[in-house]
Amino acid sequence: MSCRYNSYSAFLKKTWGSRLQKLSIDAGFSCPNRSDDRTKGGCSFCDNKAFNPSYCSPRKSITQQLDEGIEFHEHRYRNASIYLAYFQPYSNTNASLETLKRLYGEALSHPKVGGIVIGTRPDCVDEEKLDYIASLQTDNEGGKRFVSVEYGIESCYDETLRNINRGHDFAATRHAISLTAERGIHCGAHLVLGFPGEDKKRIIDQTSIINTLPINSLKLHQLQIILGTPLAKSIAEGSTAFTPFALDEYVELVCDILERLRPDIMMERFAGEVPPRFQAFPQYSWRRDDGRLIRNEEIPPMIEKALERRGTWQGCLLKDNTNKDSDK
């Protein structure tokens, strides 16, 4: 057994025969939670600038962003030969179908791009857009492309979604993911752990809800408080209580989730990483004893080691998965 959880990166490497590297693209999309009359001000915890790579900017063409991203990653990941165009900031289906065709088409025309990943919200898709996205799985020569839609679930609880000013309920999430899965599109999901009002039990209990969704992959991120956001202000003023996770506490929480998670769901990420300059409380960053920040890529080995110590693996606590899967 090479890994005690189902690895998304291992799946991509096995399927494509080499490492696939995501290249983030900022195509200038906005978000309905910022621009229409349903709600104002956006999600209380969100500022996309904190997550964007330096080469990402809507002032640059998509082709330029891809070229610069490839140059950046060729130095860091010398074994990457195929790239995925990752439309990341904000809601990347929040535009007309004609606009989506133009932007996605430019990305997929790049000779080193073998697929596309589209980050968006559950309330920013419809059947027409998803039909088009499904068609991208085949190129003009009949070859196969990797196409994924990644939804920000953030929380499975309507109370939390209201508190963070999300602008939609969990029913919208379930509906969008169902429409996506019906079309055979790879479906990813993003969940934030540690929102105010969600204790460890409620966080872990979400796993049974996630298991009912027809998703293929999952990202977990610890809540990080971004400078200048409404949530940061509320915490600073004392009107919202926030207790950050210590690193060892977070690793154990992720293990609790994994043990209850459907074993076919591939784990893409276990933690988020925000530069200290964007953090309202940088003192809560995870650091080594010498003060250096702990990077995202250091978290998976910690989780693997913790699962080994516990003698557990992904899905081991599910009634129909009492044995280890030797292929995981």
Enter the tokens of residue 173.
Answer: 């999430």
Q: Under 8 Å CB-to-CB from 105, ≥6 apart: which residues?
A: none
Give the mean pLDDT of 272-291.
Answer: 86
DSSP 284-319: GS-B-TTSPBPPGGGHHHHHHHHHHHHT--TTTTST
Cα 211 from Cα 230, distance rounded (Å): 31
**138-147, 202-211, 235-244 — which one is most confidently predicted on average?**
202-211
Give the mean pLDDT of 256-267.
Answer: 98
Cα 58 from Cα 177, distance rounded (Å): 28
In terms of Cβ atoms closer than 10 Å to its own Cβ (0-12, 13-18, 19+), residue 264 is middle
> Which string of b and e fits 97-127 if b means at least 16 CB within 10 Å?
eeebeebbebbbebebbbbbbbbbbbbbbee
Give, in order, the Cα–Cα distances in Å from 58 to each of 26, 30, 98, 136.
Answer: 5, 11, 18, 23
pLDDT > 90? residue 9 = no
Give the mean pLDDT of 180-196.
Answer: 96
Cα 233 from Cα 225, distance rounded (Å): 10
pLDDT in tens, 40-86: 567 877 776 655 666 678 889 999 999 999 988 777 666 667 899 99
Cα 21 from Cα 310, distance rounded (Å): 32
* Residue 12: pLDDT band with limits 50, 70, 90: confident
Q: Which domains does the chain have, with CATH numbers?
A: 8-310 (3.20.20)
Q: Under 8 Å CB-to-CB from 241, ≥6 apart: which residues?
A: 196, 235
pLDDT in tens, 97-149: 999 999 999 999 999 999 999 999 999 999 999 999 999 999 888 888 999 99
Enter the tokens of residue 140.
Answer: 């003009």
pLDDT in tens, 91-108: 999 999 999 999 999 999
Closest-CA residue to 125 (of 99, 74, 91) = 91
In contact, 121 and 152? CB cutoff 8 Å: yes
In contact, 229 and 45? CB cutoff 8 Å: yes
- Between 28 and 79, whose confidence is greater? 28
DSSP 26-41: ------HHHHSSS-SS
pLDDT > 90? residue 309 = yes
User: 264: helix, coil or strand?
Assistant: coil
Q: Under 8 Å CB-to-CB from 319, ≥6 apart: which residues?
A: none
In contact, 179 and 127? CB cutoff 8 Å: yes
Cα 226 from Cα 45, distance rounded (Å): 7
